[in-house]
């Protein structure tokens, strides 16, 4: 037997029994962004490697060790996108969507990072993200958070996620803080691990979100970024907090929250959950006012977030929030005898046209009553329609209830139509 070929490690098939839940989650996402009037943007999956190096930052987990980078046949260095924000800014700049304009955009699609695969962490995963351009005011930060909260509510998850926020100030304030933090870290070299030592000069803020308990312990006494903030940054943050309170969105300020990407300024946030184990961040984002200019556009304020759809789906499963998952088939049409087979073929299509929201599957391949009923049951349909010689002669259809304890009935076409309208 030939050796079978397997999928790439960390890259998952989403199988037919899983897609109904995915579709429910994706529908909730589409409904949420549409309630807020956001427009969809679709970007390519492959971009120039430089795009990510220049935006995410050279000294970040993503660029240092997670990118799928390769040379194409012309010798250009290309990368499978590890995230969507840089791509969105690239597209916005290229097509003149950003300067002096407001854009409220959303996207979804696969992202690629060469990480160690584990629950909630994969090499191909899917993100949903929103990006708002042209609004520097904190009400835009509050709006994207309200949108995310709206999504939790739609999915019934609002009691299982909590919001952490922080402010990183502007670039000058962060530079001041950087120096203070480096000076502090230099006094604790004996405690720092390799990662922290490597980063303390190039990206010292990243040391703050270390998972190493010994370093976490010394960081309790580290200088605080909040002490370096100027008046404008403070006001921006307090306006955000005020709007969140007005909207009834509970939050915790976490001064250690710095995010793994370089482009953030001022607001950063994460929605976290306890129902996923180690991979507890479901949605993360913040403001990135400098990125558009850094990527060659004219200075444009921006704020956005990205959510991992796998983690969302894992949460929905763990919390058993699956009652809105739609079955793939509602009605299964069976037929006994040659004439009925032919008639049912035509009837199935008439029913689809008359009841466009129903999912109607017609049995194919013949077989006896028992075999056809078995397939009807397996399809997940709530009813089976039966067309036999008797039914054809009397212009009727029999209905067998597959999930309810009700007797089989024989209906006229008009009665059938009424029944289907009620499904
Ligand atoms: P983490 O700290 O978990 O590595 P991150 O800071 O790298 O996350 P972002 O780049 O902010 O994550 O991506 C936003 C969201 O995308 C995350 O909160 C998570 O839900 C999801 N995500 C990120 N990396 C992965 C991955 N490898 N597999 C599945 N989901 C992911
Ligand atoms: Mg990561």
pLDDT digits (tens, 9 = 90+) for 90-137: 999 999 999 999 999 999 999 999 999 999 999 999 999 999 999 999
User: Considering only CA atoms, which residue is closest to atom 26 of ligand 1?
Assistant: 121
CA of residue 178 to ligand 2 center, whole Å: 22
pLDDT tens-digit map of 352-401: 999 999 999 999 999 999 999 999 999 999 999 999 999 999 999 999 99
CA of residue 284 to ligand 1 center, whole Å: 8
CA of residue 255 to ligand 1 center, whole Å: 20
pLDDT of residue 409: 97
Q: CA end-to-end span of the chain, whole Å?
A: 48
User: Considering only CA atoms, which residue is closest to atom 12 of ligand 1?
Assistant: 284
CA of residue 257 to ligand 1 center, whole Å: 14
Provide residues with CB under 6 Å of ligand 1.
Answer: 83, 113, 115, 120-122, 125, 127, 260, 279, 281-284, 306-308, 310-311
Place of tokens 């077989």: 367
pLDDT of residue 29: 98
pLDDT tens-digit map of 190-226: 999 998 998 888 888 888 888 889 998 999 999 999 9
pLDDT of residue 260: 67
CA of residue 266 to ligand 1 center, whole Å: 20
The yes-or-no verdict on residue 140 having pLDDT over 70 is yes
Is 0.85 surpassed by the pTM of this model? yes
Dihedral of alpha carbons 393, 394, 397, 399, sign: negative
Test site for ligand 1: of 68, 80, 125, 208, most ligand atoms within 8 A of the Cβ:
125
Q: Kindly give the number of the ligand 1 atom that is closest to the alpha carbon of 121.
A: 28
| β partners of residue 271 | 163, 283
pLDDT band at residue 318, thresholds of 50, 70 and 90? very high
CA of residue 124 to ligand 1 center, whole Å: 11
Q: Kindly give the number of the ligand 1 atom that is closest to the alpha carbon of 281.
A: 18
pLDDT tens-digit map of 221-276: 999 999 999 999 999 999 999 999 999 999 999 988 888 667 889 999 999 999 88
Test site for ligand 1: of 284, 305, 314, most ligand atoms within 8 A of the Cβ:
284
CA distance 96 to 343: 56
User: Considering only CA atoms, which residue is closest to atom 10 of ligand 1?
Assistant: 83
pLDDT of residue 58: 82
């Amino acid at each position: 037997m030939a050796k079978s070929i397997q999928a790439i490690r960390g890259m998952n098939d989403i199988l037919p029994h899983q897609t109904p839940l995915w579709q429910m989650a994706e529908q909730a996402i589409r409904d949420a962004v549409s309630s807020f009037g956001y427009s969809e943007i679709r970007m390519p999956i492959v971009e120039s490697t430089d795009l990510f190096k220049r935006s995410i930052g050279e000294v970040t987990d993503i660029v240092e060790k997670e990118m799928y980078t390769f040379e194409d046949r012309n010798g250009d260095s290309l990368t499978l996108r590890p995230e969507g924000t840089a791509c969105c800014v690239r597209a916005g700049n290229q097509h003149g969507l950003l300067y002096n304009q407001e854009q409220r955009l959303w996207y979804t699609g696969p992202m690629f990072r060469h990480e160690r695969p584990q629950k909630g962490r994969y090499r191909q995963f899917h993100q949903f993200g929103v990006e708002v351009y042209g609004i520097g005011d904190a009400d835009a930060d509050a709006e994207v958070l309200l949108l995310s909260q709206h999504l939790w509510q739609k999915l019934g998850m609002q009691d299982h996620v909590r919001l952490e926020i922080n402010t990183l100030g502007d670039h000058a304030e962060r530079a001041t803080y950087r120096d203070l933090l480096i000076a502090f870290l230099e006094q604790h070299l004996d405690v720092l691990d390799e990662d922290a030592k490597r980063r303390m000069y190039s990206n010292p803020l990243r040391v703050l979100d270390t998972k190493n308990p010994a370093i976490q312990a010394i960081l309790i006494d580290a200088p605080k970024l909040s002490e370096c903030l100027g008046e404008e940054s403070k006001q921006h943050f307090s306006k955000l907090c005020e709007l969140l309170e007005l909207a009834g969105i509970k939050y915790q300020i976490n001064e250690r929250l710095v995010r793994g990407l370089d482009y953030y300024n001022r607001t950063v946030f994460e929605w976290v959950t306890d129902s996923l184990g180690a991979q507890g961040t479901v949605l993360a984002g913040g403001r990135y006012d400098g990125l558009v200019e850094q990527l060659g556009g004219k200075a444009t304020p921006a704020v956005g977030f990205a959510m991992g759809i796998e983690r969302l789906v894992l949460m929905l499963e763990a919390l058993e929030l699956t009652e809105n998952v739609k079955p793939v088939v509602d009605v299964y049409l069976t037929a006994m005898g040659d004439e009925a087979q032919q008639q049912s073929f035509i009837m199935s299509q008439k029913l689809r046209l008359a009841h466009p929201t129903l999912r109607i599957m017609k049995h194919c391949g013949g077989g006896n009553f028992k075999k056809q009923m078995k397939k009807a049951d397996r399809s997940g349909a709530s009813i089976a329609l039966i067309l036999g010689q008797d039914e054809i002669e009397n212009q009727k259809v029999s209905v067998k209830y597959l999930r309810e304890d009700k007797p089989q009935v024989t209906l006229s076409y008009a009665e059938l139509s009424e029944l289907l309208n009620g499904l």
